[in-house]
Structure 1
Amino acid sequence: MTNQRQETIDYKPIFFRLRHENERQAFDELLRQNPEIRLYDTIKEQLGELARISFPGRTLSEHELNALIFDWTKGFPLETYGVWVYFPWNRNCVHLLEKEEFVKLRTNRNVYKIDFDQVDILRTKKIGIIGLSVGQSIALTMAMERVCGEIRLADFDEIELSNMNRIRVGVQDLGVNKAIVAARQIAEMDPFINVVCYTLGVNDGNIDDFFQKDGKIDVLVEECDSIDVKIFSRLKARSLNVPVVMDTNDRGMLDVERFDREPDRPILHGTVEDLERLPTEQLVQKLRNLTIGEKVNYLSNIIGIQNVSKEMLRSLEELNKTIVGWPQLASAVVLGGAMVTDTCRRILLGEPVPSGRYFVDFEELIRDPASY
């Protein structure tokens, strides 16, 4: 029986470039010791697709494709071209193009929605995501669209069966840390995106690393439930001039705080000014001793009761009475992934995205005209 908790450390793929003798030997030894590893090799098809996008105005014959492939591989065996990528958590090993060609081919269908020079800009960017329930959909959408070159994921929680109403996981992922699950999915989609996991969440001991280790993050996406983390992460973001984006998963509500352009802007649009005015030690003490009722009141102020759907309002009233957590629907979570990814991409590219609160409310946008 597999022990999930012992395996949760594995989220980084392992690369083997067989043109290097030492890596060829390591690859052969890996396969010898692990005969259950499954090999997937479509490198010739990938090279053929790369040839077609390299000559978009021509219809290449089979002979021309083979000639181009032979030229690119310099006549060496195809198995030594590119890189073999091993995923320890599922025992799959996949033969892929090397990074530059892989990125060029994988992002080709983004052009000209995202221009070539914008692709180069985005691949230098770093995004931090706190909270991997709504955050998982955001992280996967960002990776799919490739709006950054590095993603930092923070969540202390593990996948539970009740999470599966809105988190895209399999039942084999039960008991695995949420950040690790997201990191593995990103690696299987694009092993060249650098992913760093913080499986204790963000706390006093690692918040500096999360924001600044090996380069400061360019955008913070905050999607956690904890009031203290919401506040402290924003105070840190503001001190470092890092913009913050948050999807609240109700009525398509999106918050943007441009601390990169407004370094004196009140956090959370000024909804927690009483907390923001406290000295750090008093703030820490107060946040640690909040009752459930006080937490709900602060969250209500942050969101604004006037902005809450009737279903969410009822849920707030029933919290810890007939339900034990915030309700979140998959459709709203996936919408949040799209909204946050689009907003972050435009921020990273220097497009005008002002601070504020925005709504993409399907019930308002799609309804019977007679109800207006």
Structure 2
Amino acid sequence: MPGKMIELEEYIKQQQKEPDNYTPVFYRLKNQQEYDALLALLASKPHIQVYDQISSQLSELMKIRNPAKRLTTEESEQQINEFLGNASLSTIGVWVYFPWSGRVVHILDEKEFVELRTSRNKHKITDEEAAILGTKKIGIIGLSVGQSIALTLAMERVCGELRLADFDELELSNMNRIRTGIYNLSQSKVVIAAREIAELDPFIKVKCYTQGATEDNLMDFMTGNGQLDILVEECDGIDIKIISRMKAKELKIPVVMEMNDRGMLDIERFDLDPELPLLHGLIPDLDLVTLQNLTSEEKIPILGPMVGMKDMSPKMKYSLTEIGKSITTWPQLASSVVLGGAMVADTCRRIILDQLRSSGRYYVDFEQLIR
């Protein structure tokens, strides 16, 4: 047995850390070069798994395009053949390679893919509204609560581009509220989220900031390749919480925050009211130099009103007194995180579609609503 243990340890040492790749690769086989490139990829990496269910996607596409009629098998096949024209099944749509999982999946191309994947959003989201949402950019700082938000935004297709910022890597204790597999331990939280989004909808653009949001990269995060339409702030650091709001206010970008306790949601409409005080005036007006030089003790009276400490649930208040004693940081529950994802996604959609114009702090407290 000792010899076998040494053999296992040597095998583990030889394994290289997986690169932070989160961008899928597209192959459209009507292009001969891309056809050849896909064949070369499959030949060079025989472990790749290939998933080709394009026929079922085409059948479902014909079904949703004929909602008032139950198509017979023959009628469905006829419509599929008309859709194909002279093309073969293999050259229809796009083949998507996910390098991190070693999978190639054959799917409809973007227009038809989005049409089919979001078909059950109708009429809660109209075609006109979906077209608007698809052009929008949302940035999320903090990928614990932020992971649920990012995935919900992607599932509902509330935007066409997501920017994700977090410097942290996944730890086992994070998995009480971050939905992922244990094989992702020590992987970047933003990369984990970006990969899951790509596997759900590879046409949504995702940009990751694995160093987190910093004073140096915030302007790029908010304006690079076009300005954000909404900033979702879910980070733990008080400095970035305030600095990001300063930048958002300067750029007239609305800010949405969910606090993961009592369903507290915070909205700041700097786009509608550029003079709106940061966090509704709950924190003092600090300049950047003063903020960067605050001691831990000086941050506490600022953090309290910022996170709504006086209105927290009794269990959360008690938990804060136990940090450094029986726990290392404040607790978060998966149920609250998932609720936060839903609330923020709904709020972002309504802000983008000009269906919500208010600023303020709101509570969806199940313990108060359901007794």
Q: TM-score range by the shorter chain?
A: over 0.9
SS in 2 for 1:172: helix
Measure, in 2, the Cα distance between the counterparts of 1:2 and 1:144: 38
Q: 5+ unaligned residues in a row in structure 2: which ranges? A: 1-11
Aligned to 1:283: 291
The partner residue of 2:122 within 111, 114, 128 is 111
* Post-superposition CA distance 1:12-41 (Å, at most 9, x none): 000001110000110000000000100111
TM-score, normalization: structure 1?
0.94
Aligned to 1:318: 322
* Post-superposition CA distance 1:272-294 (Å, at most 9, x none): 12xx243x3233223xxx22x44
The partner residue of 1:146 within 134, 138, 157 is 157
Code of the aligned partner of 2:306 = I
- Classify 1:307/1:4 alpha carbon distance in 2 versus 1 (closer, same or farther; 3 Å): farther
**Is the aligned partner of 1:201 residue 2:207?**
no
> Which segment is superposed worse, 59-68 or 16-25?
59-68
- Classify 1:116/1:3 alpha carbon distance in 2 versus 1 (closer, same or farther; 3 Å): farther
* Post-superposition CA distance 1:307-362 (Å, at most 9, x none): 11111101111112221111000000000000000000000001133000000000
The answer to whether the 8 Å contact 1:5/1:176 transfers is no
* Post-superposition CA distance 1:126-182 (Å, at most 9, x none): 000000000000000000000000000000000000000000011000000000000
Aligned to 1:298: 302
Aligned to 1:344: 348
**Is the aligned partner of 1:158 residue 2:162?**
no
Measure, in 1, the Cα distance between the counterparts of 2:19 and 2:326: 33
The partner residue of 2:259 within 234, 238, 248 is 248
Give the root-mean-square deviation of aligned CA atoms. 1.4
Measure, in 2, the Cα distance between the counterparts of 1:6 and 1:88: 14
Q: Which aligned segments of 4 or more residues in structure 1 are displaced greater than 6 angstroms?
A: 2-5
Note the C-alpha offset of 1:74: 1.2
* Post-superposition CA distance 1:218-247 (Å, at most 9, x none): 000000000000000000000000000000
SS in 1 for 2:265: strand
- Classify 1:342/1:5 alpha carbon distance in 2 versus 1 (closer, same or farther; 3 Å): farther
The answer to whether the 8 Å contact 2:20/2:188 transfers is no
Percentage of matched positions with identical amino acids: 54
SS in 2 for 1:254: strand
Note the C-alpha offset of 1:305: 3.1
Aligned to 1:259: 270
The answer to whether the 8 Å contact 1:247/1:253 transfers is yes
TM-score, normalization: structure 2?
0.94
Measure, in 2, the Cα distance between the counterparts of 1:113 and 1:8: 39
SS in 1 for 2:191: helix
**Is the aligned partner of 1:82 residue 2:93?**
yes
> Which segment is superposed worse, 68-77 or 207-216?
68-77
- Classify 1:165/1:49 alpha carbon distance in 2 versus 1 (closer, same or farther; 3 Å): same
